[in-house]
Amino acid sequence: MDLERILFTQGFGSRRQCRALIADGRVSIAGSSCSNAANATIDIASDTLASFEFQVDGATWRYREKAYLVLNKPPGYECSRDPQHHLSVFHLLPPRLTERGVQCVGRLDQDTTGLLLLSDDGAFVHAFTSPKRKVPKVYLATTRHPLDDAQLLALRNGVLLHGESQPVAAVSAEQRDERQLELSVLEGKYHQVKRMVAAAGNRVEKLHRERIGGFALPDELAEGQWRWLDDADLAMLRHC
């Protein structure tokens, strides 16, 4: 396999830029520098390509046909490549990941924190954003006013949002504390959780996404950090 093509698919720039990386001796495999772009081919079987590793400027990278990431989104970041008022969440990722075209799997408001998936796999993005797939998303909302049974019941039975013709109901709505609400929803409408809580007679002060499908935000992942999703993570995502 052509090393230049591998670098290109992994987001290390254009074909010309990847060729220059090799020619400048900045790429190595198993500690051996590859400096001849014309002859830089890798004898590797397709079934072992997934475990293939290479080094660029001393940093080790593993070949991944598709990128699947989880990011613990901090407040003050927009889920857009063209942010209007705040930094983009893509500032939190290495440039090579944005170069290969990863996109947010659904969006979180700039002041909403927590679990954000990113991928360059269009089918994966669709699977977790399409309302037809009915993938539950679990949020922890801190409310301005104390919660009461009437608000929880309204959220479970369905509230009518402005501009909608049919009520929207939560999969579940449980009170964790006087002003803390755990809410599970299937849709991803604009400002949905905030609008639902407002329609029930309260107001969201803070919002944090904890879970998508069967996958919870890892405890060890600090705000602003990201990591690759492994096969076990992907299996949990699909386990609703």
Q: Mention every residue, 6+ apart, whose C-beta is less than 8 A from residue 100.
A: 9, 10, 11, 67, 120
Check whether 37 has a pLDDT greater than 60.
Answer: no
Question: In this structure, are 119 and 225 located in the same domain?
Answer: yes
What are the tens digits of pLDDT across the range 197-225? 999 999 999 999 999 999 999 999 999 99
> How far is it, in rounded angstroms, from Cα 147 to Cα 205?
13
Question: In this structure, are 57 and 77 located in the same domain?
Answer: no
Question: In this structure, are 55 and 40 located in the same domain?
Answer: yes
Q: What is the mean pLDDT of the chain?
A: 91
Q: Mention every residue, 6+ apart, whose C-beta is less than 8 A from residue 198.
A: 204
Question: In this structure, are 58 and 168 located in the same domain?
Answer: no
Confidence of residue 39 (pLDDT cuts 50, 70, 90): low
Question: In this structure, are 22 and 74 located in the same domain?
Answer: no
Check whether 33 has a pLDDT greater than 60.
Answer: yes
What are the tens digits of pLDDT across the range 68-104? 999 999 999 999 988 888 899 999 999 999 999 999 9
Question: In this structure, are 111 and 226 located in the same domain?
Answer: yes
User: How many residues can be counted in the chain?
Assistant: 240
For 85, the domain range is 68-130+221-238
Exposed / middle / buried, residue 122 (Cβ in 10 Å: 0-12, 13-18, 19+): exposed
Question: In this structure, are 148 and 208 located in the same domain?
Answer: yes
**CATH of residue 42:** 3.10.290.10
Cα 110 from chain centre = 14
What's the domain count of the chain? 3
**CATH of residue 161:** 3.30.70.1560
Tally the C-alpha atoms within 13 A of residue 204's C-alpha that lie toward its C-beta: 23
Last residue of a domain, one of 62, 91, 110: 62
Confidence of residue 133 (pLDDT cuts 50, 70, 90): confident
Neighbour-count burial for 82-113, b at 16+ CB within 10 Å, e otherwise: eeeeeebbbebbeebbbbbebbbbbbbbbebb
Tokens found for residue 136: 């539950």
Instruction: Clarify whether 109 is annotated catalytic.
Output: yes
pLDDT of residue 32: 83
Question: In this structure, are 162 and 203 located in the same domain?
Answer: yes
Confidence of residue 42 (pLDDT cuts 50, 70, 90): low
218 and 70 in contact (C-beta within 8 Å)?
A: yes
Question: In this structure, are 199 and 225 located in the same domain?
Answer: no
Question: In this structure, are 95 and 205 located in the same domain?
Answer: no
Question: In this structure, are 141 and 208 located in the same domain?
Answer: yes
pLDDT of residue 162: 86
**CATH of residue 89:** 3.30.70.580
Confidence of residue 132 (pLDDT cuts 50, 70, 90): confident
Question: What residue spans of the chain are helical by DSSP H?
Answer: 3-9, 15-23, 95-99, 122-127, 149-157, 192-199, 231-238
Q: Mention every residue, 6+ apart, whose C-beta is less than 8 A from residue 130.
A: none
Q: Mention every residue, 6+ apart, whose C-beta is less than 8 A from residue 190.
A: none
Last residue of a domain, one of 44, 62, 80: 62
Beta carbons within 10 angstroms of residue 43's beta carbon: 5
136 and 186 in contact (C-beta within 8 Å)?
A: yes
Nearest to 172 by CA among 141, 198, 128, 146: 141
Q: What is the mean pLDDT of residues 1-7?
A: 87
Amino acid in the structure at residue 35: S
What are the tens digits of pLDDT across the range 138-197? 999 999 999 999 999 999 999 999 888 899 999 999 999 999 999 999 988 889 999 999
pLDDT of residue 83: 80
Q: What is the mean pLDDT of residues 50-59?
A: 87
pLDDT of residue 48: 66
Given the residues 2, 57, 109, 149, the one annotated as active site: 109
Instruction: Please report, rounded to a whole number, the percentage of residues in the chain having pLDDT higher than 70.
Output: 94
Cα 98 from chain centre = 12
Higher pLDDT pick, 31 / 113: 113
Question: In this structure, are 122 and 9 located in the same domain?
Answer: no
